[in-house]
């Protein structure tokens, strides 16, 4: 003998008598409602699929909140619903899915935090090169040309912090990444190339290696040859 459930799907009498555990339904609605996981428990496959597809909108979460209140205030759930997934499976999913989700977001957050820290460290390269850029500008003002040889280290002034800065031929400023600043990029350099335009100097900022492109400011995301 068959009857129809709320979705109009034919079910047998045996299926209609599958008992719904109210605690399991409430827990699964609370923990899995954002992706429509509680719909699995009730055998509402279409609603589960739609909730999963549109979970990014937040709408399934709002619907689940309303349904949680409805389920909590309904005494005779078995007269309206039937269970289609074992309760133990729903409990396991209700525990594992939030844990996995939190783990994924935590991993993304830690990665983003690490990238942000590395970008902050790269600012030190730019700050450290400012004294050398000033030295090149002063040289140009006095001689009306760029230096044809590497300037002496003391000419570039004292390096700032941990970064080693040198002024290469043509006034190119090279700031080398120390290991304590970024172990992955140690030995690679930020490069600033001067260009004479009339009576002024303009600077092109770039990096020695493509691996630095994601951690330097957008104005320096160009790979330049080492002088």
pLDDT tens for residues 52-62? 899 889 999 99
**What pLDDT sits at residue 114?**
65
- pTM for this entry: 0.53
Burial 59-71 (b: 16+ CB within 10 A, else e): ebeebbeebbeeb
Measure Cα distances from 210 to 186, 189, 200, 204 in Å: 14, 11, 30, 16
Flag whether pLDDT at 8 surpasses 70. no
Q: What is the pLDDT of residue 63?
A: 93
Query: From CA 171, how far away is CA 156, in angstroms rounded?
Result: 10
What pLDDT is stored for residue 16 in this prediction? 46
- The model's confidence at residue 158, banded by pLDDT at 50, 70 and 90, is very low
**What's the rounded Cα separation, in Å, for the pair 223 and 201?**
20
Residue, of 79 and 158, whose pLDDT is higher: 79
Q: What is the pLDDT of residues 96-108, one digit of tens each?
A: 988 988 888 888 8
pLDDT for residue 106:
84
Q: What is the pLDDT of residue 26?
A: 92
Q: What is the per-residue burial (b if ≥16 Cβ within 10 Å, else e) of 186-202?
A: eebbbbbbbeeeeeebe
pLDDT tens digits, 164-201: 888 999 999 999 888 888 888 888 889 999 998 888 88
Model pLDDT for residues 126-154, shown as the tens digit of each residue: 888 888 888 898 889 898 889 888 876 54
User: Quick one: pLDDT at residue 130?
Assistant: 86
């Amino acid at each position: 003998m068959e009857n129809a459930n709320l979705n109009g799907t034919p079910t047998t009498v045996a299926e209609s008598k599958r008992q719904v555990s109210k605690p399991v339904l409430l827990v699964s609605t609370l923990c899995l409602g954002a992706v429509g996981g509680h719909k699995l428990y009730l055998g509402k496959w279409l609603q589960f699929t739609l909730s999963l597809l549109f979970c990014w909108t937040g709408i399934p979460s709002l619907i689940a909140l309303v349904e949680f209140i409805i389920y909590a205030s309904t005494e005779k759930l078995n007269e309206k619903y039937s269970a289609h997934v074992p309760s133990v499976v729903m409990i396991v999913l209700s525990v594992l899915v939030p844990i996995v989700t939190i783990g994924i977001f935590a991993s993304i957050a830690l990665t983003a935090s690490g990238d942000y820290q590395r970008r902050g460290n790269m600012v030190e390269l730019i700050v450290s090169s400012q004294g050398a850029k000033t030295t090149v500008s002063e040289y140009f003002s006095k001689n009306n040309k760029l230096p044809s040889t590497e300037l002496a280290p003391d000419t570039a002034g004292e390096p700032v912090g941990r970064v080693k800065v040198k002024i290469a031929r043509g006034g190119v400023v090279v700031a080398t990444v120390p290991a304590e600043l970024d172990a992955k990029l140690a030995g690679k350099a930020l490069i600033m190339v001067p260009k004479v335009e009339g009576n002024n100097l303009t600077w092109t900022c770039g990096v020695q290696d493509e691996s630095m492109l994601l951690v330097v400011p957008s104005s320096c995301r160009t790979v330049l040859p080492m002088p």
